Every structure is written in structure tokens, then in C-alpha cells.
Amino acid sequence: MTEFSIIAVFFVGLLGGVHCLGMCGSIVGILTAQLPKDGARWRFHLAYNSGRIASYTLAGLLVGAIGQAGLLLRDVVPVQHLLFALSSLMLIALGLYLAGIWSMVRRIESIGSVLWQRIQPLTRSVLPVTSPARALLLGTLWGWLPCGLVYSVLITALASGHAQSGALIMLAFGLGTLPNLLVIGLFWERCRHWVQSPRVRFFAGLIVMAFGLYGLIKVGYVFAVHGWAGSCHVDA
């Protein structure tokens, strides 16, 4: 299911722009206000987002490695089945949040607050952002900002059962978020009202929920065919 996960999380990142605006929009707005007014500002935004995506990829590598170690428990408990099911349920919850129906994702974001309290003070050392290199460092640090969207996808990376697959999943997700945050950064005032539109949020949420429902059906099919001993990596 890794190939499906990579495609799915790319579109989750792309459609999650309405969430990105809420989580990172103010950060990008602050960054934009400090940048030169000429055409060079795109380099700062590209550097910032490159650092953010690099942090996502590293996190995916780490949780994928944890998932790989968890494969040792395959004969004891259907670890991958449960993790993929949980990942799909998280996508459904995220879709409900994006659609403005359920805000459970907000509570999930509090999980990373302990780590973020240690990282956030480091961001002051790279402000103001006077060069693309400082923007890259800022993005690397802000990539660890507690985010329900990121945590949902990290569960998918964990369920992949391999460090490399986990990194690829988070890289795909980060690339999916890139267009949104580049547009937000370069055209902040023009696009924020459109992204905040209830209709845009609702339809984006429906599509993300569809990915979650498809994932549940996929896991259910693999389980029905192969039982507890089956692997989520088996093509259904």
C-alpha cells in the first residue's frame, strides 16, 4: 500500500491548504513582510519551504524506522493492519475538520507541544530573515510545529513499516503542501480569502475523507483475503 499512500498523502497535502493557511499562514505572512519587495522574494519562500519539507522527511524516516522495528511483532499482533486503519481514520477526522464539521484534530496537535516548547525559542536566532540561508533554517525549525495534518500523515509513514518508505511518504506530503504555501507567501492578500471560503474547505474536506474511506476499504479487503497473517504491503 506504500504506492497508494504516497499518492494519497500528496493530495492530502495539496488539499490541506485550508489548514496550512491557519497553521503556517501567519508565519509566512511575517516572513513576507520582512522580505525585499523585488522579484527575489521567491527564493526566500522556496528556501523556507525546503527546510520545512526536509524536517517532514526526517520525521518520516524516524517513524518509518520505528515501524520497521515493529514488524518484529507481526506474528503477535496485526500491527500494520491496525496502523493503516488508524491512519485512514485520521484522514477521515482530518477531512471532517477541513470541512468544518469536527475539530478533534485540534486536540491531536497538543501532542507535540512538549517538543515544540524546546524548538520554538531557537527560531528567534534566525529572525529577522535576511538571507535565503536563514529562511532555510527557519523552515527547518518550523517544520516541527505541532500540526494535526502532519501527525495524521506521520501515522501513515509509521504504518509503511520501512524507514525509506516513511521518508518518501512525508516527502510526498511536503511536496503536496508546497504549491499552497508558495502561493500564500507570494500572494498572501489575494489568496487568503479564497482559501478560507467555507465551500473550498468543505469540498477539500470531502476529498480527504474519500482517501480515508478508500484506505479503510483497502485494509478491510486485505484482511478479508489474507487474515491477520496478511501484510498491508500485499497488493490487493
Give tens-digit pLDDT for 95-105. Answer: 887 787 877 77
For the segment 28-33, the average pLDDT, to the nearest whole number, is: 68
Question: Hey, what's the cell of 145?
Answer: 510545529
Question: Hey, what's the cell of 220?
Answer: 478491510
pTM of the model: 0.81
Q: What pLDDT score does 234 carry?
A: 41
Q: CA nearest 52: which of 109, 4, 113, 119? A: 119
Of 11-25, 126-140, 208-222, which gets the smallest average pLDDT? 11-25
DSSP assigned state of 102: -
Question: Hey, what's the cell of 46?
Answer: 522556496
Tell me which range, 6-15, 55-64, 171-180, is most confidently predicted by mean pLDDT. Answer: 55-64
Q: What pLDDT score does 36 carry?
A: 65
Cis peptide before 121 (omega within 30 of 0): no
> Strand runs (DSSP E) across the chain, as ranges?
none
When pLDDT is cut at 50, 70 and 90, the band that residue 22 belongs to is: low
Question: Hey, what's the cell of 178?
Answer: 508546497
Q: Where along the chain do its domains lie?
A: 2-75+105-198
